[in-house]
């Protein structure tokens, strides 16, 4: 399928599904790293059901596409990217609370979920204070920080499976592992039900403040980054290894390794994807050379022409 055909398809599907469409759409403003070229088109459906029917239509004609949630874990290449992007809607009104259960649309930012949980005095997500991204992306990658993880709070996930069938899944404990969940490539998280614990708004906010203080003591403030670049290797911490290898401050073009935390790359404002790839390679090679450890990147790479079919990123 040519770029032009993808764009014609996007315009037609946008009309049929009541979705907004932007052609030759810049990805950088939508990704927390603020790097990336132009997708053939970005389609913005209004609700979860529209996302489902749209993705089904794209799959039916094998149109290359990616699903974009909060954009905090995506490294998109520079230049023209020949695929479509479906932006999962970030509808704050799709948070509903019933006793200790929170039902949340996949595109809702974690920060919004936390704010609503705090207002209702529900505890269990405080560890996520300050994390970027959406709840859908957090479940897909089993986001975690400061000893917490999203997995144990997830009671049910509504997802569109690779065949386009809507499925509700109640996860078992072994459905989640470090930065990994039962949600597979090609599946789309539509809605998440979280089970929290009754507390008070004050106690929840106090704990969130404590986490925020801890985060600002150990992680960079400001600047555009994508959070941690590498997964922690078995029995170690990528940030510490990078630090011990003397790589803090190392630079490639417009990106450098944070001085505050070795596993964060900071975009100085004019970084390109090529710069980030170069820095990833330098850091990986140096850690391998000095310590014999192979670091694995935690970012999802969107190449110039790939068939998408990813989970929510
Ligand atoms: N450390 C250093 N130098 C550094 C960074 C860290 O010596 O430059 C040391 C710290 O002093 C500490 C240890 O390494 O003793 C671990 O560091 P930290 O507590 O910051 O945790 P981490 O393992 O580096 C993980 C997650 C973060 C999460 C933090 C907070 C991964 C890859 N990273 O980092 O998640 O915010 O814990 O709990 O699992 C992310 O996934 O995007 C992310 C940032």
With a 6 Å cutoff on the Cβ, whether 81 touches ligand 1 is: no
Residue in 204, 211, 197 with CA at minimum distance from that of residue 145: 211
Q: What's the gap in Å between 54 CA and the centre of ligand 1?
A: 38
Q: Nearest residue CA, atom 26 of ligand 1? A: 145
87 pairs with which residues across the strands?
68
Gap between the Cα atoms of 47 and 228, Å rounded: 30
Closest ligand 1 atom, residue 261 Cα = 8
Q: What's the gap in Å between 167 CA and the centre of ligand 1?
A: 35
Gap between the Cα atoms of 116 and 133, Å rounded: 16
With a 6 Å cutoff on the Cβ, whether 237 touches ligand 1 is: yes
With a 6 Å cutoff on the Cβ, whether 137 touches ligand 1 is: no
pLDDT value at residue 309: 47
Segments of the chain with pLDDT less than 70: 91-93, 306-313
- Residue 124 neighbours by CB under 8 Å, 6+ apart: 117, 152, 153, 194, 195, 196, 197
Q: What's the gap in Å between 216 CA and the centre of ligand 1?
A: 12
Residue in 61, 58, 59, 47 with CA at minimum distance from that of residue 18: 47
| Tokens linked to 200 | 């008070």
**To test ligand 1's pocket by mutation, which of 33, 145, 233 has the most ligand atoms within 8 angstroms of CB?**
145
Backbone CA torsion sign across 231, 233, 239, 242: negative
Q: Nearest residue CA, atom 36 of ligand 1? A: 145
pLDDT value at residue 268: 93
pTM: 0.89
Closest ligand 1 atom, residue 248 Cα = 8
pLDDT value at residue 310: 45
With a 6 Å cutoff on the Cβ, whether 231 touches ligand 1 is: yes
**To test ligand 1's pocket by mutation, which of 74, 138, 228 has the most ligand atoms within 8 angstroms of CB?**
228
pLDDT value at residue 178: 93
Find out whether 189 and 136 touch, Cβ atoms under 8 Å: yes
What does the H/E/C string look like for the chain? CCHHHHHHHHHHHHHHHCCEEEEEEECHHHCCCCCCCEEEEEEECCCHHHHHHHHHHHHHCCCCEEEECCCCCEEECCCEEEEEEEECCCCHHHEEEECCEEEEECCCEHHHHHHHHHHCCEECCHHHCCCCCEHHHHHHCCCEECCEECHHHEEEEEEECCCCCEEEECCCHHHEECCEECCCCCCEEEEEEEECEECCHHHHHHHHHHHHHHHHHHCCCCCECCCECECCCCCCCHHHHHHHCCCCCCEECCEEECCCCCCEEEECCCCCHHHHHHHHHHHHHHHHHHHCCCCCECCEEECCCCCEEEEEC
**To test ligand 1's pocket by mutation, which of 239, 259, 291, 295 has the most ligand atoms within 8 angstroms of CB?**
239
Q: Nearest residue CA, atom 21 of ligand 1? A: 237
Phi and psi (nearest 5°) for 117? Answer: -65, -45
Gap between the Cα atoms of 23 and 80, Å rounded: 11
Q: What's the gap in Å between 237 CA and the centre of ligand 1?
A: 6
pLDDT value at residue 307: 56
For residues 132-151, b (16+ Cβ closer than 10 Å) or e, as one string? bbbbbbbbbbbbbbeebbbb
């Amino acid at each position: 399928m040519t770029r032009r055909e993808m764009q014609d398809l996007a315009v037609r599907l946008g009309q049929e599904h009541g979705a907004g469409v932007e052609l030759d759409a810049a990805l950088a403003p939508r990704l927390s790293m603020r790097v990336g070229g132009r997708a053939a088109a970005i389609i913005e459906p209004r609700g979860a059901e529209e996302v489902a029917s749209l993705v089904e239509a794209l799959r039916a004609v094998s149109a290359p596409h990616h699903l974009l949630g909060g954009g905090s874990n995506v490294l998109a290449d520079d230049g023209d990217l020949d695929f479509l992007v479906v932006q999962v809607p970030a509808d704050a009104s799709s948070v509903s609370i019933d006793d200790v259960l929170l039902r949340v649309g996949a595109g809702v930012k974690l920060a919004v979920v936390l704010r609503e949980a705090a207002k209702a005095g529900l505890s269990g997500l405080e560890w996520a204070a300050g994390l970027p991204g959406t709840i859908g992306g957090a479940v897909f990658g089993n986001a975690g920080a400061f000893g917490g993880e999203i997995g144990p709070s997830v009671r049910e996930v509504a997802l569109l499976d690779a065949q386009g069938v809507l499925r509700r899944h109640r996860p078992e404990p072994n459905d989640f592992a470090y930065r990994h969940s039962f949600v597979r490539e090609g599946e789309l998280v539509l809605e998440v039900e979280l089970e929290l614990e009754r507390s008070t708004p004050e106690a929840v906010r106090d704990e969130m403040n404590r986490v925020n203080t801890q985060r600002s003591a150990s992680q960079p403030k400001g600047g555009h980054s994508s959070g941690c670049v590498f997964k922690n290797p078995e029995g170690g911490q990528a940030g510490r290894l990078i630090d011990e290898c003397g790589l803090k401050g190392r630079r490639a073009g417009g990106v450098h390794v944070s001085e505050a935390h070795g596993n964060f790359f900071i975009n100085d404002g004019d970084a390109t994807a090529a710069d980030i790839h170069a820095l990833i390679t330098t850091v990986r090679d140096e850690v391998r050379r000095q310590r014999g450890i192979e670091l694995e990147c935690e970012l999802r790479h969107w190449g110039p022409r790939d068939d998408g079919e990813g989970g929510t990123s």
